[in-house]
Structure 1
Amino acid sequence: MKKYKIIIALFTGLYLILAVTLYITMNHFADKQNNEYRVEISRLSREIMNSEVLNDGNNDSKDNDIMVIDANSYSDTIDIFNIFRVTYLSVGTDDSNIITEFYSSRNKYQMEIVPVIKENHVVGYLRFDYKKDIDVSSFCRLSQGFLLLIYLLTVSILIYTDQKIIRPFHQLSNMPYELSKGNLNDGIKESKNRYFGRFIWGIGMLRDALESHKNKELKLARDKKMILLSISHDIKTPLNAINLYAKALEQGLYDTEEEKAEAVVKIQEKTKEINEFVKDIMISTTEDVISIEVNNSEYYLTELMNKIAAGYSERCKLNQMEFAIGSYENTLLKGDIERMYEAAGNLIENAFKYGDGKRLSITFTEEDYCALIHIFNSGIPVGDGELSHLFDSFYRGSNTEGKAGNGLGLYICSEIMKKMNGDIFARKCMDGMEFILVCPMS
C-alpha cells in the first residue's frame, strides 16, 4: 500500500514538473513573439509619424478625423507579421461612436495602440490590428489543460484501482494463510465488488466447507472411539467362547467325536459373528469417509465438454499428451454438471497417473435414451480378474504399483453416477483402458 501511494506521489511530482516546465517555456516563447511584434509595430509607427501622411491626408479613407492608413508602402514585413489594418484617430475627435469603434476589439485579431507625438504633444493614436500565425499563449493554455486532463484521468484510474482492487485484495491476502492453519472462525464480509465479489463468495464457501469437514472429522473420531469400545465389548464374548472351545479341544476334554464336532461348529459360528462385526466396521468406515451430495438438474453436453476442455487441454499440451474430443450432439442431460465434471476429472487424473502419457481421447455414443461418454487413455491395462473390483473402495489395480493413491477415485465415480441415476463401466483394451460414463438424457 505504501509503495502504491509513493507511485501516486511520484506521478503527481512528475506532473507538476512538466506543468511548470511547459509554463515557463511557453511564456518564454510568448514573450519573444510579443517582442517581435512590438518591435515591428514600433518601427512601422515611427515611419508613419515621420511621413506626411498624417498631415496631407494621403490615405485610403478619411472620415471625421479617423483614417485607415495603407501600411504596405512602409514595410515589406507587413504580410509576414499579418498586420491586417492600421488606423489613425485624431486626439481632437469628440464623436463617441468613432472613439468606441476605434478602441473596440475585433474577433480573431489582436491590437496594439501607439500614441502619435509631435512637438512633445499627443496629436493622435495609431491602432495596429494583427493576427499571429501561432498564438503561443493560447497554445500554452491548451497544453496545460490537456496535461491537467491526463493527470486527473490517470490519478482517477489509480485511485479507483486502489479502492476497488488493491485494498480488497490486501484485505483478503491473509485469508488463505489463516485457512491453511485451520483458523475457520473469522468469517468474510460479503461484498458486491465487481472484481472480487465472486472470489469472496467462493472463499466463504471454502471456509464453510472446511469447517463442515472439520466437524465431520471430529464426529468421525468420536464415532471411531465408540466403535472401538463397542467392538471390544461385542467381540469379547465370541472370542472368549472360541478360546474355551479351543482349550477344551486342546486338552482332550471331549470324549466323543460328536462332542468334538459340535465344539468345532460352535467355533465356526462365533467366527462368523466376528466376521459380521468386521463387515459392519468396513461399511461404517466407508460411509463416514465418503459423503457425496448431488444436486440433480439438467445441463447440456456442450457445457460439460467445454469445462473439460478448459480444464485439461492446456495440461495435456504441457505434458505432450495427445488429447482429442470427438464429435457429438448437444444433448440435454439429467444430473449435476459439477459432480459429472468431478467424475470425468477423476478418470482423466487417473490417465495422467497410471497411463503412459501418450494419448487421451473422449468419444460419444447413445444407447437406450442415455448418452455414453467414452474416456480412453493409452497405457498398461489391468488384469482380467481385476475389472470386477475396480470400483470397490480402497481397491488399487496391479498397474498402480509404486504410484501414489488411496483407491477411492473410481469408487467416488461410481457413487456419483449412481446418485445421478447413471452408471460407469470399465473396459480393457489392447493398448490401454476405457471407462464409459452412462448419463441419462432429459
Structure 2
Amino acid sequence: MKVRTRLTLLFTFVTAMLMVSYGIAVYYSSVEARENSFYAQLNNEAVAKANLFFQSTLNEKEMHRLYKNNTKTINEVQVAIYDQEFNLIYHDDSKVDYVKEDPKMLSRILKNKEISFFIDDLQAVGTVYPHEGKNYLITAAGYDQYGYRSINHLLTISIIAFISILILTYLAGIFLSKKALSPLSAMVDQIKKITAGKLQLRLKVSKEKDELNELAQNFNGMLERLENSFDAQKHFVSNISHELRTPLSAMITELELASEKEQTREGYQQTIQCALGDARNMVKLSNSLMDLAKASYDPNEISFSEVRLDEILLESYATITRENPDYKVSVNINDTLEEHQLIMQGNEYLLQVAFNNLIDNACKYSPEHVCSIAVGIDTEGLVISFTNSGIVISNEDLKHIFEPFYRSENSKQEKGYGIGLFLTEKIIHLHHASIIVVSGNNETVFTVLFNHQA
C-alpha cells in the first residue's frame, strides 16, 4: 500500500472517529434534553389540570369530554389526582390507566414530593399538589411524540451527514496527500535517472524549510560522497595498476633475458637478486595496501584498547633500526611526562604502522639517514615530533603531501609508492589526533598532537 493511500485512510479514519464521538455526544445530549423537557412539560400539565379541577367551574364530566376531544387532535397527557388517603378523586380515563398507581407508588410520591419514571415508551411524573391546607397526589403520563420524532430526525440527518462528510473527507484526503507528496514523487523520478555512470546528477532542492527539502539535501550529500568515493576508487585502481606494472615488467624482462641466453653463475644470481628485489617491492606495496584498507574501515569496526604511546613508539624504533641498520634514530622522551599522559584509547597495530612510516620517511629523505624523535607535552595534549635534516619540501608539495600516490620531485630519487603519508594521516585522524608538517632551513618536522580528550 502506498504512503498516499495510507495517509488518506488514516486521515479518514481519524475524522470518522472524531465525527462519531461528536455525533454520539450530541445524540445522547439531545435525548437527555428531550427527556428532561418532557418531564417538565408533564409536571406543568399535571399542575395545570389540578388547577383546572380545583379552581374552575368545570365539573368532572366536562373535563373528561375536554380530555377525549384533545386526544383526537394531540397526544394528550393523562392525569390522575389522589388525596392523602390515596383515594382517587379524579382520573382523565380510569379505564385506560397508563400509570397503574398503587399505594407503594403513592407513598413514594408523598415522601419524595416529586418523582419521574418510564412506563415502556411513556414518561410519567408524580408530584404533591397543596390546596386549601391539604396535599393531593397527582400523576401525569404521556408519549412525547414530537420529541421522539425530532430525535429520530436528528439521528437520520446525522447518519446522512456522517456518510457524506466521510466521502468528502476521503476525496479531500486523496487530493491533499497527492499534492503534499508530489515533491516526493518528483524525487523518485529523479532518483530513477541516477546510475553508477550518472552520479553527478542531483535532486532539485527547493527554498522550503521542510522535511522533504532536508531529505533532498542529505541525499545530495550522500551522492557527493559516493561520487568522491567512486572517483577515489578509480584513481586508486589506476595508480595501483601503474605501480604494480613497473616491478612486474622488470621481473618479466629480466627473466626473459635470462632464459634466452646462457649466463654464468654470477649472471644468474644477479638476475635472481634483481627479480627478488622487485618481488620484495611488490610485497611492500601489498602490505601498504593492506594497511590502507584496515585504516579505511568504519571507525566503529576497529578495536580500540588502552595503549601506551611511548611503548608503541619504541617498538617502531626497534623495528625500523633492525630492518635498516644504516638508519640513525634517536628518541627523547621528556622526563616530566607522567604515565597517565602517555596512555590513550587506540589501535596498537595501526599506530605502529603510522610511527613506522614517519620514522622511515624521515630517515629515507635525510642524506645521513638521521631521524630525531621528541616526545613532550603542551596545553593541548601529548606532542610527538619527527625531525630530519636534508631535503626541504617546497610549499607546493606541502599542499599535496598527504594525498594518495602523490610524490614530489625531490622524493622520486628514493623508492616509494606515495601511500605512507596518506595512510599515516588517516590513522592519526582515526585516533582523533592531528598531524602537521613544517619544512624549511634545511629541516623537515612532522608533528603529531594527541589531544587529552582522545
TM-score, normalised by the number of residues in structure 2: 0.35
Q: TM-score, normalised by structure 1?
A: 0.36
Structure with max Cα Rg = 2
